[in-house]
């Protein structure tokens, strides 16, 4: 029995619900899922400034969660706050983008990412590079609608996304990741229109979390030396204080 906590630092409950619904379809038998939504910040992260806020919202969400969990999934593709969550968590923390690029590396030599929202392109290029995987990246391609737009009206984006995915094949990608909380579940619908294997970011995150939880790892994150703070939520102040 594996219990996973999903943290959605995009502050939109319907996106949390969407991710959770699709996550359940990918989860193994015996996995249970819970999800929490960020308490503050933009409704959907689509810029660096939104990303900076979401990093705080993600650690705040973890600090205030009292439930049992065997692993945590950070359900915002781009993974704001991932390093901070890992620092303090006693169980594995899996980022949606991080899990996806690693599983893509298990599939082929070069991968691409397709997601919604134009400011994500340089952000994800830097994310991949900072994880040491720039030499494995074929391309990042974004479509104009953000993940939130796509979540509201997925049909309108299908042709655009298929075109983006196929363009990645000409960029040299052996495999393409469809990333973004708002795009949960679209990979299965697109795969017949795309010339290379297509990974679903949510599926990657769930299976990676199950994989790590299944190893019963010990000696994980530890609290830093306590420090006073101001203006934080009770849970977060207590976590660091």
**Contact set for its own copies, span 179-218 (CB under 8 A):** 187-188, 191-192, 194-200, 203-204, 207-208, 210-212, 214-218
Contacts of 215 (CB under 8 A, 6+ apart): none
Question: Which of 191, 185, 190 has its CA nearest to residue 19?
Answer: 185
CB of 87 to its own copies, least distance (A): 4
Give the phi and the psi of residue 198 in degrees, each rounded to 5: -125, 115
DSSP-derived letter for residue 223 is P
Interface with its own copies, residue 135, by CB under 8 A: yes
> With contacts defined by CB under 8 A, how many residues of the chain interact with its own copies?
90
CA distance 42 to 58: 12
Q: Please give the residues from 1 up to 40 whose contact with its own copies meets the rule CB under 8 A.
A: 11, 26, 28-30, 39-40
Nearest to 96 by CA among 42, 45, 143: 45
**Nearest distance from C-beta of residue 215 to its own copies, angstroms:** 5
Q: Which two tokens stand for residue 188?
A: 């299965």
- Tell me, residue by residue from 137 to 166, as one string, x for binding to its own copies by CB under 8 A and - for no binding: ---------x--------------------
- Residue 180 beta carbon to its own copies: minimum distance, rounded to whole angstroms: 15
Sheet of 198-200, strands arranged across: 137-143, 111-116, 175-178, 198-200
**x/- contact string, 73-112, with its own copies (CB under 8 A)?**
-------xx-xx-xxx---x-x---xx--xx-xxxxx---
Which position among 21, 34, 43, 189 is part of the footprint of its own copies (CB under 8 A)?
43
């Amino acid at each position: 029995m594996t219990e996973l906590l999903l943290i959605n630092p995009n502050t939109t409950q319907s996106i949390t619900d969407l991710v959770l619904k699709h996550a359940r379809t990918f989860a193994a038998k015996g996995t249970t899922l819970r999800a929490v939504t960020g308490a503050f910040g933009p409704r959907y992260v689509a810029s660096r400034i939104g990303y900076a806020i979401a990093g705080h919202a993600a650690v705040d969400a973890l600090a205030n969660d009292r439930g049992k969990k065997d692993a945590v999934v950070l359900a915002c593709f781009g993974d704001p706050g991932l390093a901070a969550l890992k620092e303090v968590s006693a169980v594995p923390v899996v980022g949606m983008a991080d899990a996806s690029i690693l599983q893509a590396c298990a599939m082929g030599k070069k991968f691409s990412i397709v997601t919604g929202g134009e400011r994500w392109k340089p952000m994800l290029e830097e994310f991949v590079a900072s994880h040491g995987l720039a030499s494995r990246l074929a391309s990042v391609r974004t479509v104009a609608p953000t993940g939130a737009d796509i979540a509201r009206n997925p049909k309108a984006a299908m042709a655009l996304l298929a075109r983006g995915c196929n363009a990645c094949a000409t960029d040299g990608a052996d495999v393409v990741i469809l990333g973004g909380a708002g795009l949960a579940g679209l990979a299965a619908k697109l795969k017949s229109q795309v010339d290379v294997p297509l990974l679903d970011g949510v599926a990657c995150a769930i299976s990676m979390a199950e994989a790590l939880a299944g190893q019963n790892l010990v000696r994980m994150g530890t609290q830093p030396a306590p420090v006073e703070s101001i203006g934080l939520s009770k849970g977060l102040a207590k976590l660091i204080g």
